[in-house]
Amino acid sequence: MRKVTISACQFRVERAPSFDAFKQQVTELMDQVPPQSDYVIFPELFTVGLLTSFEGSDAYSAADLVKIDQYTEDYKHLFGKLAKDRQQVIIAGSHLERRGDKYYNIAYIFKPDGTYVEHKKTHIFPAEANWQTSEGDELQVYDIGPAKIALAVCYEAEIPEISRIHSINGAEIIFCPSYTFTEYGFWRVRHCAQARCIENQVYFVHCPTVGEPGSPLPNGFGRASILSPCDTAWSPDGVVAEAETNVNMVVTGVVDLDELYVNRKTGAATTFVDRTRRENVYTRYEPYKSYNRK
């Protein structure tokens, strides 16, 4: 059995008068992470509290969130050092960054040697247009740590093709940093995350930014979870571990990677294979053919 321990840091965003204040909150959550955790994940855009470090920020709007790009190097240094000092893989949520004349919502995976890989969010939620955010074009699976892992940032969980591509390319765990401003948004991502587990017979880790920091920062709603397929190898509801709603906390769970491959062959629902088993039927229909030409 290949057992993997995962910790999700549900981050309650606060007004941060300085980077040191943000760093302190990160450190307090990391202190709750067990040293045996193989993977640690933070949420999407959890650096937004840094917007309030700028003079006059009370008059800012959501469009001004791109200013937090000024803290990019501090952010990378912080998580590179944490990953190296703790010898853990840290999915450090995501951060708004300027590249050339464009801004991207970029998620990072920091390795135990302090280096990192990055993923530019490929599907921008409509509200992100307020931040002038551009979309990335690449989907990758990473052989980092004891599992093959991939990223689906928030809205990407609602696009089934992304997780399918990841699973076909070998992903065993899909990590989802998320920031949803309403309960409706939270449940969209959460239900889709559970569906992606069932469709692809993978583990899915959903980690949201939460809190009510006040204008100009958006509220966050959510409950972090480590999810599995809904089959006999796991709990009936497919929940491996789950946080409390909107609480600043860490939730930790253990998953068995080998069980995924057993389940794909002998589970009650063998959806990983069956999703393409009758492709000869699907291709008879024009919507399917048109869809695959796009």
What residues are annotated to the active site?
A: 44, 121, 154
Task: Convert 247-256 to b/e letters by CB count within 10 Å (16 or more is b).
Answer: ebbbbbbebb
User: Which of 180, 247, 210 has its CA nearest to residue 13?
Assistant: 210
CA 219 to chain CA mean position, Å = 18
- C-alpha to C-alpha distances, 225 to 148, 194, 229, nearest whole angstrom: 19, 10, 13
Handedness of CA 249, 190, 42, 214 (dihedral sign): negative
> What region does 239 belong to: left with phi over 0, alpha with psi -120 to 50, or beta?
beta
Q: Counting beta carbons within 10 angstroms of the beta carbon of residue 170, is it exposed (0 to 12), middle (13 to 18) or buried (19 or more)?
A: middle
Provide CB contacts within 8 A for 126, sequence distance 6+: none
Report helix angle 19-30 to 72-86, nearest 10.
Answer: 20
User: What is the full DSSP assignment across 39-68?
Assistant: EEEE-TTTTGGGGGGSTTGGG--GGGGGGG
